[in-house]
Structure 1
């Protein structure tokens, strides 16, 4: 895996971006005086691509940092593989390690602790943490990190704020929140980073949104996430002064240090190292300490039921079937109510995702449904199907 060290003058890592700069500079040359054009071309950033360092070569430089931030684009398997590799390296050092994660919310720390202690399995953790309702990304992306932490006795700390708070903050001012939500608010929201605000406004407007009041709510929610995660990490580090922490969060919360890193430093004085596995925005000085360039990886296809479900009145109704559906061939019909998968009760789509999360195509599953006959009597039926 190749790595760019981002320091000094503006650094552009990708060849296509370098070519784009050359093309832009050429276009400018047609309209500017020759002297100005030559000066602009002389300042074109250049990156040597002949001898890029590898992750293994820079890991020793992380050993002196008490906090290491590793970003992610949530759906990219390669990013999570990088996170686990960094954790493996840090865990091999003598100093105790903790892992702070964005993907679990603070009210559910007890469920994480129980999983790490071996008291519950991954499926029970998904249910107890309301994972699919509150985060939703394919759990297979994250479970190797959790399994490593459990196997090596490494605490995993839920950093994120509860969804109820951020959803409310997206609609109303913070001083109008209920006491039940206000207790989760971080102690302050630092709005002094004007560059961060400008970057967030560009993101906001890129989605076609231009309402300034809505932007203020959008901006406040971003700051809540950043400050809330930084405060939770700071509290843990203060309570465990001999422990290091690796913080795993979306790259947007880490880039330029504007999100979590600077807010953690404000609370603790700790200057952590920032690693980003790829980046989709402009590449420039101060983006991170290291930009990693991992090769793309893909999860295997998940198992599917071969039917579409419609949530209705607290039940899941079979609405339609995919082509060559095993469920349909087995005898499941539209309007059946899905009651259980492998004896695990299901009432929501999240329940279905919990039941299926680790089952690949080809696995045999039992579906228990309820069918209403013409005269209204209800019959429980069980079918054996093969996941698609």
Structure 2
């Protein structure tokens, strides 16, 4: 058998001139060869084959886990009256997938009408004027009062709005204004003790506020209650699922959102006679228990196609008929983009981008680096960076990453948080972009 020294020499030659990530894969494969020759245990055969290929970010797949071509997606969506496309609001891959899917659907016939969770229904006229060319792209954010009504980075949504404008598609906002939701939430804490009291908080609002709510607030299905309580418990504000009043309020607000978006989507279909594409958070889409269930009440004979991102975790065919592979990512204002890759036995956080002139570049971080630790936390998820950033800020210490690059390991000192470019880039940025289970 060749010696380990021979394999190291072979690995070094194979790595020469290649990127860090590819080099690591080559080294890992070659250096493990001597060990593999003695591996006699057979591979497990009883585990079901969920996904039968390794997808690239943005690639489509069926609910069986097979590759889905753009042409096959168009054929699959052709008979659907509604196409509900889920997103996590801070994920750039999700937004790029939305733009591509909308462009595909726009090629079919007259194209769909488009509804947006991110825009209150009262601002639909602004979207219509934008599509008609009456509002410049650089003015749309202000005209939509985006900072107050939604708040997630507008630049990630603009390409989807521009695609609707390019194809001159009918557009509409679907949501209830956030200030009405806040007043309803406050009224619910004063009036709600169970699902049976939805009418109490609504009656406490002004006539003007009630006019902006859906005409029919459709309660959650029994099978959705456990999921919604899980979402509630995982909320960053730490809501108490054992508090009946808080739970009733949460279920009311979720029902108002889902009912309002379903009502506006059904109205959009009735007004335009077109297929309706809805962009909304995954919790409103996956499993068909959110918006889709309410549409079935309002438009019983309509067929609905669910599209949802898949992060590489357990593959649940019931979530959606079409999945888009989009690993979770985090963009820091310190100038780095991290991606959590979770496929099979792979569970790692990889640096996919480093901006020139940034703090991350100055600290020595490079694309292809695998982040092993952040502060005192193993980097098994992007949440570890948030925890490490919070610790560093609270303890007035530097945020330090441990990374692997090929066969080498390095320490990357990103400096203190809370200073110029530090707090914005580290702890605060992590808070703003953390993947959440909430819609």
The verdict on a shared fold, with TM-score over 0.5 as the criterion, is yes
Separation in structure 2 between the aligned mates of residue 75 and residue 83 of structure 1, nearest angstrom:
13
Matched, 1:49 2:49: no
Q: Secondary structure at the match of 2:233?
A: helix
1:164, 1:181 within 8 Å by CA — same for their partners in 2? no
2:80 aligned residue: 65
Q: Aligned-pair distance for 1:286?
A: 2.3
2:324 aligned residue: 292
Which digits, 9 at most, give the CA deviation of each residue in 1:11-34, with x for residues without a partner? Answer: xxxxxxxxxxxxxxxxxxxxxxxx
Q: Aligned-pair distance for 1:133?
A: 1.1
2:376 aligned residue: none
Please give the residue correspondences for 1:70-109 in structure 2 after superposition, counting only pairs within 5 Å: 70-109=85-124
Q: What is the aligned length?
A: 268
1:95, 1:244 within 8 Å by CA — same for their partners in 2? no
Q: Secondary structure at the match of 1:167?
A: helix
Separation in structure 2 between the aligned mates of residue 178 and residue 117 of structure 1, nearest angstrom:
34
Matched, 1:122 2:137: yes
1:159 to 174, 178, 181: 174
2:312, 2:325 within 8 Å by CA — same for their partners in 1? no
Matched, 1:139 2:183: no
CA 1:323–1:218: 2 relative to 1, 3 Å: closer
Q: Secondary structure at the match of 1:146?
A: helix
Matched, 1:245 2:246: no
Q: Aligned-pair distance for 1:297?
A: 6.8
CA 1:169–1:279: 2 relative to 1, 3 Å: farther
2:181, 2:253 within 8 Å by CA — same for their partners in 1? yes
Please give the residue correspondences for 1:188-227 in structure 2 after superposition, counting only pairs within 5 Å: 188-191=216-219, 193-206=221-234, 207-209=238-240, 210-227=242-259
Q: Aligned-pair distance for 1:219?
A: 0.8
Which digits, 9 at most, give the CA deviation of each residue in 1:152-211, with x for residues without a partner? Answer: 211221011111221112111111111110001212222250111221112222335131
CA 1:110–1:95: 2 relative to 1, 3 Å: closer
2:265 aligned residue: 233
CA 1:48–1:239: 2 relative to 1, 3 Å: closer
Q: Secondary structure at the match of 1:231?
A: helix
Q: Secondary structure at the match of 2:186?
A: coil
Q: Secondary structure at the match of 1:254?
A: helix
2:410 aligned residue: none
1:77, 1:299 within 8 Å by CA — same for their partners in 2? no
2:239, 2:246 within 8 Å by CA — same for their partners in 1? no
CA 1:55–1:189: 2 relative to 1, 3 Å: farther
Q: Which has the higher contact order (CA 8 A, sep 6+)?
A: 1
Q: TM-score, normalised by structure 2?
A: 0.56
Q: Aligned-pair distance for 1:302?
A: 10
1:373 aligned residue: none
Q: TM-score, normalised by structure 1?
A: 0.63
Structure 1 residues 88-97 or 212-221, which shifts more?
88-97
2:120, 2:174 within 8 Å by CA — same for their partners in 1? yes
2:312, 2:327 within 8 Å by CA — same for their partners in 1? no
CA 1:299–1:84: 2 relative to 1, 3 Å: farther
Structure 1 residues 115-124 or 88-97, which shifts more?
115-124
Separation in structure 1 between the aligned mates of residue 134 and residue 204 of structure 2, nearest angstrom:
40
Q: Secondary structure at the match of 2:113?
A: strand
Give structure 2 stretches of 5+ with no counterpart.
1-43, 54-64, 188-200, 336-417, 423-439
2:33 aligned residue: none
1:98, 1:244 within 8 Å by CA — same for their partners in 2? yes
CA RMSD after TM alignment: 2.9
Structure 1 residues 159-168 or 47-56, which shifts more?
47-56
